[in-house]
Amino acid sequence: MKISCDEATKICDKNQYGEASLWEKIKLNLHLFLCKKCGLYSKQNTVLTKCYEAHKNTSNGASHCLSIEDKEHLEEELKSRI
């Protein structure tokens, strides 16, 4: 039942997009309870996904790079979550 950190990050990524099975979620939550580094990875992954979704929704499909202000905001958001 114990999984490696590598497997935990893969399940975390799958879970982020709703693709993880119930059994994978159970194994991941047990691993996250025991491994603080993977817990941090999971939190950062969630923040990045939220930032991406927020930016995607405001860009109206336009293809462009992040502005300096957006990059600074993203960096501040990540630092505040650590």
Give the residue extent of every domain in the chain: 5-81
Calpha distance 38→28 (Å, rounded): 9
Tokens describing residue 10: 């893969």
Residue 54 confidence (pLDDT) above 60: yes
What is the pLDDT confidence band of residue 60, given thresholds at 50, 70 and 90?
A: low
What are φ and ψ of residue 4, in 5° steps? -80, 165
pLDDT digits (tens, 9 = 90+) for 4-47: 999 999 999 999 888 999 999 999 999 999 999 999 999 999 89
Comparing 67 with 39, the larger pLDDT belongs to: 39
Residue keyed to tokens 């982020």: 16
